[in-house]
Structure 1
Amino acid sequence: MATRPEIPRIVKNELEKLGQVIGPLLKRISGYRFWSIPFLSISIFNLFTLLVLIPQDQTRTALIIYAILGAIGLAMLRESNVLIKEVRKKSLTYILERISASSDTTVDQKQRYLLKIRKSPPQAFEVFIDFLEEEIKLMDLEDQS
């Protein structure tokens, strides 16, 4: 795929609207990821240290604390993965609805882009940007006539 040297203002506006839809979820994801990694790291390191280097009779309370800390970290990591899937769904839904609602393109063009997105969801953003660029060209042609 060719790189895009300059993104038109209309495309930027559409991507900002999409960002508003998924923005709150992205904040939660980053927060969960930010805290889960240290929790898991500290827990794993200390559990290993306690189980291997320190005698068993002195470590019961510490083991419980670090196990709970690790469980919290793992739960946060799993929740962030669930939220990532939700972001993908919301993004895809927004893109599909936006393409379907377009009044500046023909039904055939809409169907072609919708089919491309449904066949390859990971490329939805690229296809969406192509659609928006084509929509801009059609709007410019209409303005010139």
Structure 2
Amino acid sequence: MNIITTKNLPVFITKELEQLHKKVAPIMMKTSKYMFWSFPLIMISLINLVFLLFFMPFSNEAIPSLLIYAIIGAIGFALAKEAKMKKKEIEAISSKYMIERIKKSDVVTTGRQQDYITRLQNQPKLALHYFIEFLDEENKREKRNLYS
């Protein structure tokens, strides 16, 4: 899930997105570090393994190099897999926060809350869009209740 820039968003949406960001920020830092290191490790190992296996004559002296590059590649792939798992964890935490926030609303009717929760669960890639849509509807209803 991408956290969008909040320059053009209203203050009430920005506050909620900041709260969401506080929940996922530590995991996002780990994920970005894992992704940053996994790609170079994989590329270094693959390039060197291909070079050693296909372009160099095979000898007993090449075996330690092959093992080292294989280990480097395994570490890179493990970091990539961990980054993928952390991304899923971020999506789960974000989704949980959004659903709890929707349920906490006193202004939006229960039916509309269920509609937003269903949409969040059915289309997780659009979860942030639906959450912002919910916050906008909630704000409009609050203003309408305030002025009536």
Fold in common (TM above 0.5):
yes
Match of 1:30 in 2: 32
Partner of 1:12: 14
Partner of 1:75: 78
Alignment correspondent of 1:50:
52
Alpha-carbon distance, 1:118 to partner:
2.4
- 1:49-92 CA-to-partner distances (Å, cap 9, x unmatched) read 11122222220111111011000000000000111111111111
User: In structure 2, how many angstroms separate the alpha carbons of the residues matched to 1:113 and 1:36?
Assistant: 37
Match runs of 1:116-127 below 5 Å: 116-127=119-130
Separation of aligned partners in 2, 1:60 and 1:17? 52
Aligned length: 141
Report % sequence identity: 36
CA RMSD of the aligned region, Å?
1.4
Q: Which runs of 5+ in 2 are unaligned?
A: 1-6
Determine the structure 2 residue equivalent to 1:140. 143
Residues 36-45 or 105-114, more deviating: 105-114
Which residue is 1:39 aligned to? 41
- What is the deviation of 1:115? 2.1
- TM-score, structure 2 normalization: 0.90
2:106 equivalent in structure 1: 103
Q: Cα distance, 1:29 vs. partner?
A: 0.9
Give 1:121 deviation, angstroms: 2.1
1:61 alignment partner in structure 2: 64
TM-score normalized by the length of structure 1: 0.91
Whole-Å separation in 2 of the counterparts to 1:112 and 1:74: 39
Give per-residue Cα distances to partners, 1:81-139, cap 9 Å, x unaligned: 11111111111111111000112222122122112222322211111101000111111
**Which residue of structure 1 lines up, in the alignment, with residue 88 of structure 2?**
85
Q: What is the identity, as a one-letter code, of the residue corresponding to 1:85?
A: K
Alignment gaps of 5+ in structure 1:
none
Cα deviation, residue 143, structure 1: 2.0
